[in-house]
Structure 1
């Protein structure tokens, strides 16, 4: 493993990579429960989706390890699965077989773009300061996701506000929702303390400690499961289970849509392509910046392999029966634990395979236990903000726009879009348009057209 993954060269070791891989998986395990729920709304078999998600995640993560030797882990992308189910199938009225066909075509296009260096060129065209801004924005974004998952941040008349314990007591929901919010807050403090003390595996330990506290609360009757409201038992219902058959979703494509409604098919395909391209690039930029993997020119040496792994994962996922496979921003949790090589991705991939046989355990991991990990990882990622050249306003303002757009607009790709558009416009208006690369102009025009046609 030392020779293959170049652990010493990357400043890591087997133990660190193991902890990093487990940590990343733990922060991503929710996808195994959420993806079948979302895609199941289309009429797809939920058991087959669970199996497809686990298998595709493992295969894609192994590809990341062996093609790029990077600690990034992949699975069915959130947002893309919702677009698949609620827009393409339930909204536009197409069958889930047609949606899977579009995802398969997307993966094929991505492979061509990766092999022809188009996606790599886009990555390299983004200025260094803007890349730092993307990293910081992702940090705030995943922190916000953690706060939402734990119900610390909730909907309100002001769009978002903090959870009210007094109202939960009056409504009689404290023993289900209220106590989990309190446990998540305690988990943030515990994980933060472990980080301050430099405890090895601090984020992973924080997840387990928060989960165990929840189990103790359930045993003591303080936490009362309420499945109808989405609050389930924290105690695994079992240990071992056999994987559900993948036959109901395996190779279930419908290519007739291409001949019958080509424009509709390509509009769906473009939507998948656009979101995935810039979500993936944003994640790679953010995580690579945090891990100091970018070279002096702001390039990621192994990016071609990383993009190819992402493309292969999407094609394999479509064949097995799940929506677009993409690099997960939660990979930053493993990087925060010291993960620097493909061994991290291998370990996470193996746990996805284990989940097929131990699903009762992994499905019992509550979101309030992984939320503290996302909040603390967000803190670790926003430290990149000091690298932004704040004295150079022409560079700093686009970075700032990218930073605030990601959490406030709830999208990595929107942060990159607005960051690039503002970068180009401000340089042109300042009379420094010649310093902007041609590809940045092309990207800015495409983004403007995208917003004009929304």
Structure 2
């Protein structure tokens, strides 16, 4: 029954491991329940309604991933995509949040059509294996960077862009303590090391003044202020076209990058392909469409799923556990929001280490493979964009191999994508 519903194989998987992996993924990504409402409320949206929309859209999309795709990946409104929604479309371009929600709705519908046509899966299959390995490593550096930023270990600097923060202050110090705790647990091969590390670090943060206890129980706010609030008056304007295209591009390659990277790290790739890729993409597409109806920005597969995968999650049971976590969070949001960024930082940093392992499968002595791979790896964290890393990696792969006379390695889809990506930066 489990195998049929969730892709759970009793011969190679354990229920306890899958559940612990799901809890770990949920706790690592639960920050979105606080961050997404904070960002979108800047556009005038009701903060409480956005909270509920964030949780419900995450539940629905992750359930589709669990029951249909049978993969251990979780979904929620994507970071970066919500920033584009708020700071570019609304505050930058001067559009209403209703206009932005309409763009997300159209994007979601287009995603469904693209997924049904198998175009998204074809794009994934066209990416060379060396770049697929590079994507995983690049994402590893990226999420480690995010973890260090969230804890204040790495901060902005006007002269050098980034620099070391004040590591003796409460939050960075707590994160460093957490890194030591999780490292020791991992080295001693303690089961559930990542989850235990999050919880212990959160408890230590209470006397340090980092963990902000906000209560336990509260009813979820109504989504009425944002539910089905669309503005179709500007649907045929150039601004709408640009907004939809950008959202479509960002979400497609962030999702592709995350699925490829995490699947590679988990050893789930089969002949260079993601298992049940079409169903996984559909979870993303449907989640985005329903999320727009509820009142939130684009839903995407979360790179934090790698924390659960590192914990041993391999089936839809992991995703099902994440969905259950979001359901509980609707009622116990004050409690879950008490987990500080400093407590999730150790997991993100060490999972970043785990995700570097695919580098060993890249032939570093073959520069036609290693140079594009390195460009991809280094661009993802430095440009703060999974999609830009993939794009520049693929463009450089096609260009370098074409100029070196290695045309047999290139396929028609690679040429087409490289040309389209190049036009993206030119136009």
- How well do the aligned residues superpose, as a CA RMSD in angstroms? 1.2
Aligned to 2:192: 201
Q: Does residue 1:163 correspond to 2:165, yes or no?
A: yes
Note the C-alpha offset of 1:391. 2.3
- Displacement over 3 Å in runs of 4+: none
Aligned to 2:260: 285
Q: Report SS of the residue matched to 1:356.
A: helix
Aligned to 1:2: 2
Aligned to 1:73: 74
1:214-258 alpha-carbon deviations (Å, 9 max, x no partner): 11323xxxx6xxxxxxxxxx2432211001011000111111111
Note the C-alpha offset of 1:374. 0.2
Aligned to 1:396: 370
> How far apart in 2 are the matches of 1:158 and 1:12?
46
2:7–2:316 Cα contact (<8 Å) kept:
no
Aligned to 1:226: none
Number of aligned residue pairs: 425
Candidates 212, 219, 223, aligned match of 1:246:
223
Q: Report SS of the residue matched to 2:155.
A: strand
Within a 5 Å distance, the mapping from 1:336-375 to structure 2 comes to 336-375=310-349
Q: Does residue 1:438 correspond to 2:415, yes or no?
A: no
Question: For structure 2, which runs of at least 5 residues remain unmatched after alignment?
Answer: none
> How far apart in 2 are the matches of 1:348 and 1:76?
14
Within a 5 Å distance, the mapping from 1:93-108 to structure 2 comes to 93-108=94-109
Aligned to 1:267: 242
Deviates more, 1:209-218 or 1:67-76: 209-218
> How far apart in 2 are the matches of 1:277 and 1:10?
34
1:347-369 alpha-carbon deviations (Å, 9 max, x no partner): 10111111110011011110010
Within a 5 Å distance, the mapping from 1:93-132 to structure 2 comes to 93-132=94-133
Note the C-alpha offset of 1:198. 1.1
1:92-128 alpha-carbon deviations (Å, 9 max, x no partner): 1111111000000000000011010000000000011
1:321-362 alpha-carbon deviations (Å, 9 max, x no partner): 000000000000000000000111111011111111001101
Q: Does residue 1:13 correspond to 2:29, yes or no?
A: no
Q: Does residue 1:90 correspond to 2:107, yes or no?
A: no
Candidates 183, 192, 204, aligned match of 1:192:
183
Q: 1:6 to 1:67 in 2, by over 3 A?
A: closer
Q: Report SS of the residue matched to 2:355.
A: helix
Compute the TM-score of the two structures, normalised by the length of structure 1.
0.92
Note the C-alpha offset of 1:9. 6.2
Question: For structure 1, which runs of at least 5 residues remain unmatched after alignment?
Answer: 166-173, 224-233
Deviates more, 1:48-57 or 1:401-410: 401-410
